[in-house]
Structure 1
Amino acid sequence: MSKELGENVKKHRRTAGLTQETLALAAGVAPSTVAKLEQGGNVRIETLHLLARALHVKTSQLMASDTPAPVREEDPTKVGLVELRNSLTPAIGLAAPVTETPEQEPDLEALLDLVRRGSAAYDSDRFGSVATTLPQIISDANSAVSYYDHGGEHEKALSARAEAYLLGGRYLTQVRQYDLAYHALSGSIRDAQEVNDTNTAAYAIVIMSWLLLRQGRFDDAENLAVETADHIEPRISKASPERLAVWGWLALQAAAAAVRNNREDHATGARRIAASAASALGTKSADARHRYGRFDLKVAAMKGLEDELIKEGGDPYRVIEESTGRAPLSDRSMKALSVPETDKEWNRHRLTVATAYSKTGDHESAMERLTAIEYANGEWLRHQRTATDVMESIARKRKRTLTGEMRRMMSLLGVTA
């Protein structure tokens, strides 16, 4: 963050007639946090959202352009991605082609099967497998497009590459390599549009909106999702399951961005659209599972509770009440519906419930949710900032000695006491 950002916060604070202490009290942060920010220090996006909510402004109004700090040492995750970077961003010269045309005719069916097995590995949280195979998948897709330069085979090659780039964008956004993810998703949208595959292009935009949200670009994330949802809005009685699913996901992304930007009225409208899409899908959502994940009324309701903890005046007790015992979104209900414990949306909801418990001071129940997620999706859990937030909250607020299980979970998530 920059000194300019600190000046923005100071300007809005003074306009509201608040001192640093009263702003901190209204936002639920330490006074030293406000003082540090106004002096040009760093704060997280989540903290900035709390301050914006207390000042009754959009989060984006506090944010300012910034000059990146000098890089003192290489990020090891970027070094580890060198092969994927090479395949996504090949060197371009004046004479040499971007991709060498293969001598042997590519097998497009085998390529598409490889892409979809990679997607299945991602959905099963086998990130190591994705990282290992993705560079070759992207390289083979580029070669296929170069080999088939026209006709029906060219379109099939572009379709396969659109899905390959989409897989790359999902994985790279998950591991927070945003610039590479943006490049991959842009390629997916471009290739899908060229072959008139609106559903794949629109789902790549769902992931693009997620990327923008993770970068704190809430206005861009919401506007992109809303504009695309308006563009593809289906005639519900005739829409395919895929179209309904991607339309619903766009609405959920719009709601997530809006609520984080203190625009609860916009979020409420977007959630209504998502519920309409889920209702229209009914039991047909499994038809689109391999491409768009699980999307149904339960998922829409889970996302609504996630937003409940972010909006002003959100009630953690409501989240707990609707997610425990025999409630519709409880673990018992999910198991009764035969939802696998590796399901991402279920485990993301468990994180929401863990957050609610941590807000009420019930650290043991929060730990139960984290441990259940670790058992089912340990690799996925390590990449979730929300899990880190829960453990940091427990370490900061717990008055009794931390248990051995708490310390083990802190170690897993990289949290220091």
Structure 2
Amino acid sequence: MSTGLADNVRKLRRAAGLSQEGLAEAADLSLSTVRKAEQGGHVSMGSLAAFARALGVPTSALFASEAPKSVVGKEDEANRRHLAALRQALMPPVGLSVPLSEPGEAEEPAAVRRRVQDGHALYQADHYDSVARRLPGLLRDSEVAVAALEGEEREHALVARAHALLLAGKYLTQVRQYDMAYFALAEAIRLARETGRTQLAATGVVGLGWLLLRQDRFDESEQLAAQTAEEVEPRMSEATADQLAVWGELWLRVAAAARRNGREDVAEHARRMAGTAGGALEREHTAFPSHWSAFGPVTAEAKAVEDLALAGDARGVLRKAGEGPLSTKAEKNAGRLSPNNWGRHRLDVARAHVLLGSHQDAMDELVNLRQTGGVWLTHQPMAGRVMSDILKTRKRTLTKEMRSMANHLGITD
């Protein structure tokens, strides 16, 4: 945690007239967590949200602007080199006249969109290396098509490029390359708006809301998603499944941001609105490319369980994870979560098991996730936190399975 954030916790605690012990009691956290926070140590987002609730401020009020810590090292250098081709295709040099490279032959917009669909299928299957290799050519070819075509064909090319940029933004957010992701998503939204594709632009906003959430920009994520949800709200009697799905996802973004920011009333309202959209759909809906992820009653319920996880209600998480839309019995009628949402939900379950001291149950969840999405798992900080807690709290000798998982997640102590 940053020293600025630590200073803010201390300053707000004193302004509230609380001792460290008093803040610990009000936030229902340990005294050691309060001390760790005020000494600049790392504490979870859940703990920060608990501090904010106890202090009567939004979580964002704890954050501070300061110079970032140096991250120069082998990993940073490797990431820079691995993404060099993608960075060049996404953000080429801009001068006063002609581009530095000569354009190639324009590809049909329909062919570009088929390549986007293939890339999205690879992304959903966690083949991130394959996605990274395909994106540079896809972005360059989509740009060439826009420059070379005219009239109606050019408009189709603009839409195809927006899809390519959405794929780039989604991938880059997943692998935590946030500045590049923002550039891709913002440009995708601009092109979708320019061509009058409101549904596509709203899909881009769903992605941008996720990016802002990952950057702890809770106020902006909530406001952007709420405003867009109001602008695209469909008439329930006439709404298509695609419209309901995107509208519901926007409300999920509002709820997630508000919940992390300590705005419980806003989060509750947003969850109800998402539940309304999910109920209208009756089952999970996926229709790429008109809708880029799955949404329905199961997704809405899984995200409500995430609220319980953020509040530290481990028993509530385990209870809800096995009933209603999330039960095995309901799968036939309501459908299944998308792979990413399923993985995130099961990480909440794993975390709940750790909090209740059921280490083997937590390990079983991690092992299952590794088997179905091993690469995805390495990009999830929650997985690392769960494994670290197992290592810290387990009193007996670690099993071979635990050592293997720690190595897979890059945890050395």
TM-score (norm 1): 0.91
Matched, 1:96 2:98: yes
- Give CA-to-partner distance per residue, 1:163-207, whole Å, 9 cap, x none: 000000000000000000000001100111111111111111111
> In structure 2, what is the Cα distance between the partners aligned to 1:26 and 1:403?
38
AA in 2 matched with 1:87: A
Deviates more, 1:40-49 or 1:163-172: 40-49
1:35, CA displacement in angstroms?
4.3
**Cα root mean square deviation, aligned:** 2.4
- Is the partner of 1:196 in helix, strand or coil? coil
Q: What's the offset of the Cα at 1:95?
A: 1.6
**Distance of 2:207 and 2:393 partners within structure 1:** 34
What 5-or-longer segments of structure 2 have no aligned partner? none
1:212 corresponds to which residue? 212
- In the alignment, what sits opposite 1:67? 67
Q: Match of 1:95, as an amino acid?
A: S
1:360 aligns with 2:326: no
Q: Is the 8 A contact 2:117 2:289 kept in 1?
A: no
Choose the corresponding residue for 2:344, options 318, 342, 348: 348
**Deviation sequence 1:277-302 (CA, Å, 0-9, x none):** 11222247244587322211011001
- Note the alpha carbon deviations across 1:344-379, whole angstroms, 9 max, x for none: 222221111111111111111111111111111111
Aligned residues of 2:284 and 2:336 also touching (Cα < 8 A): no
- Residues 21, 262 of structure 1: alpha-carbon distance in 2 compared, 3 angstrom cutoff: same
**In the TM superposition, what are the counterparts of 1:242-321 in structure 2 within 5 Å?**
242-283=242-283, 285-287=285-287, 291-311=291-311, 314-321=312-319
Please show how residues 196-235 of structure 1 align to structure 2 within 5 Å. 196-235=196-235
1:378 aligns with: 374
Alpha-carbon distance in 2 for matches of 1:242, 1:140: 28
Report if the CA contact (8 A) 1:342-1:376 is conserved. no
For 2:220, what is the secondary structure of its paired residue? helix
Match of 1:180? Answer: 180
Q: What is the DSSP-based 3-state SS (H/G/I as helix, E as strand, rest coil) of the residue aligned with 2:182?
A: helix
Match of 2:165? 165
| 2:114 match | 113
Aligned mates of 2:252, 2:215 — CA distance in 1? 17
Distance 1:214 1:342, change over 3 A: closer
**Match of 2:326, as an amino acid?**
L
Q: Which residue of 1 aligns with 2:125?
A: 124
Secondary structure of residue in 2 paired with 1:294: strand
Contact kept in structure 1, 2:116 and 2:164, CA below 8 Å: yes
Aligned length: 411
Q: In the aligned structure 1, how far is the partner of 2:227 from the partner of 2:52?
A: 25
Letter aligned with residue 319 of structure 1:
V
Contact 2:324 2:330 in 1 (8 A): no
Letter in 1 for 2:364: E
The answer to whether 1:414 aligns with 2:377 is no
Taking the aligned partners of 2:106 and 2:344, their CA distance within structure 1 comes to 43
Partner AA of 1:23 in structure 2 = L
- The answer on 1:191 being equivalent to 2:188 is no
* C-alpha deviation, 1:142, in angstroms: 0.9
Q: Which residue of 1 aligns with 2:154?
A: 154
Q: Which amino acid aligns with 1:318?
A: G
SS for the counterpart of 1:293 is strand
Give, in angstroms, the shift of residue 3 of structure 1.
Answer: 4.0
* In 1, Cα distance between equivalents of 2:26 and 2:316: 22
| Pair 1:210–1:82, CA change in 2 (3 A) | same
Aligned equivalents of 1:351, 1:334: Cα separation in 2: 21
Identity %: 45
What is the identity, as a one-letter code, of the residue corresponding to 1:54?
A: A
Partner residue, 2:85: 83
Determine the C-alpha separation between the residues in 1 that align with 2:351 and 2:120.
Answer: 29
Corresponding residue SS for 1:262: coil
Aligned equivalents of 2:214 and 2:102: distance in 1? 35
- Change over 3 Å in CA distance of 1:342–1:14 after alignment to 2: closer
Query: What is the alpha-carbon distance in structure 1 between the residues aligned to residue 368 and residue 343 of structure 2?
Result: 9
Quickly say closer, same or farther: Cα 1:239–1:373, change in 2 above 3 A. Answer: same
How far apart are the structure 1 equivalents of 2:219 and 2:399?
41
Distance in 2 between residues matched to 1:248 and 1:26, nearest whole Å: 34
Match of 1:292, SS state, is: strand
Amino acid across the alignment from 2:211: L
Q: 2:15 & 2:401 partners in 1: Cα distance?
A: 47
- After TM superposition, the structure 1 stretch with the greater mean CA deviation from structure 2, 32-41 or 241-250, is 32-41
Q: Confirm whether residue 236 of structure 1 aligns to residue 236 of structure 2.
A: yes
Letter in 2 for 1:414: G
Is the alpha carbon distance of 1:72 and 1:105 closer, same or farther for their aligned partners in structure 2, counting shifts above 3 Å?
A: closer
Deviation at 1:380, TM superposition (A): 1.1
Q: Distance in 2 between matches of 1:94 and 1:255?
A: 45
**Paired position in structure 2 for 1:141:** 142
User: 2 CA distance for matches of 1:337 and 1:369?
Assistant: 25
1:272-328 Cα shifts (integer Å, max 9, x gaps): 1111111222247244587322211011001100111113xx52112112224x764
The change in CA–CA distance for 1:139 and 1:95 in structure 2 (over 3 A counts) is same
- The Cα of 1:81 is off from its aligned counterpart by 0.4
Stretches of structure 1 lacking an aligned partner (at least 5 in a row) = none
- 1:120 positional shift: 1.1
CA drift of 1:53 comes to: 3.0
Give, in whole Å, the separation in 2 of the partners of 1:365 and 1:334: 23
- The aligned counterpart of 1:402 is 398
CA gap of 1:222–1:389, structure 2 versus 1, over 3 A, is: same
